[in-house]
Structure 1
Amino acid sequence: SVRAWDLRTGRPRLHLTQHFGGVQCLAFDDKLDGANGGYLSGARDSTINVWARSGHFLRTLRSHKGLVNAMAVRQNEGKNGESRVASGSSDGCLRIWDHHSSRCVRTLQAHHQAVTSVVWGPGPSSVITGSTDCSVKLWNTRTGQQVRSWDGHAGTVTQVLADGGRAYSSSRDGTVRIWGVPAATGAAGAADATAESGP
Structure 2
Amino acid sequence: MRIWESYRGTIKRTLNGHTDAVLAVAISPDSTTLVSGSVDKTIRIWNLQTGENCYIINQHLATVNTLAITPDNQTLISGSSDNKIKLWKLQTGELRHTLKGHSTAISAIAIHPDGKIIASSSQDGIINLWNIETGELLETLSGFSPLAFSADGKMLISGGKGGTIKIWRQVQSSDNLSLTGEWWEILGVEPKTHPQDVKLAYLRLARLYHPDINSSVSAKTAMQAINEAYQKFQQQLKTHN
TM-score (ref. length: structure 2): 0.68
Give the structure 2 partner of residue 180 of structure 1.
169
Alignment check: 8 A CA contact 1:41 1:50 kept:
yes
Cα shift at 1:102: 1.0
| Aligned sequence identity (%) | 24
Cα shift at 1:75: 2.8
Residue 131 of structure 1, aligned match among 122, 128, 134: 122
Residue 59 of structure 1, aligned match among 55, 58, 61: 55
Query: Of the two, which has the highest radius of gyration?
Result: 2
- How many residue pairs align between the two structures? 183
Please state if 1:114 is matched with 2:109: no
Give the structure 2 partner of residue 79 of structure 1.
none
Q: 1 or 2, which has the higher strand percentage?
A: 1
Query: 1: CA distance between counterparts of 2:27 and 2:38?
Result: 15
Give the structure 1 partner of residue 28 of structure 2.
29
* 1:5-154 map, 5 Å: 5-31=4-30, 37-53=32-48, 54-76=50-72, 83-151=74-142, 153=143
Cα shift at 1:123: 4.6
Cα shift at 1:92: 1.0
Query: 2: CA distance between counterparts of 1:166 and 1:189?
Result: 10
Query: 1: CA distance between counterparts of 2:119 and 2:59?
Result: 20
Cα–Cα, structure 1 residues 124 and 15, in superposed 2: closer, same or farther, change >3 Å?
closer
Alignment check: 8 A CA contact 2:170 2:176 kept:
no
Give the structure 2 partner of residue 161 of structure 1.
148
Cα–Cα, structure 1 residues 189 and 29, in superposed 2: closer, same or farther, change >3 Å?
closer
Cα shift at 1:132: 0.5
Cα–Cα, structure 1 residues 165 and 8, in superposed 2: closer, same or farther, change >3 Å?
closer
Cα–Cα, structure 1 residues 38 and 194, in superposed 2: closer, same or farther, change >3 Å?
same
Cα shift at 1:175: 1.0
* Superposed structure 1 runs of 4+ greater than 4 Å apart: none
Query: 2: CA distance between counterparts of 1:114 and 1:171?
Result: 17
TM-score (ref. length: structure 1): 0.82
Give the structure 1 partner of residue 160 of structure 2.
171
Letter in 1 for 2:134: T
Q: 1 or 2, which has the higher helix percentage?
A: 2
Letter in 1 for 2:57: L
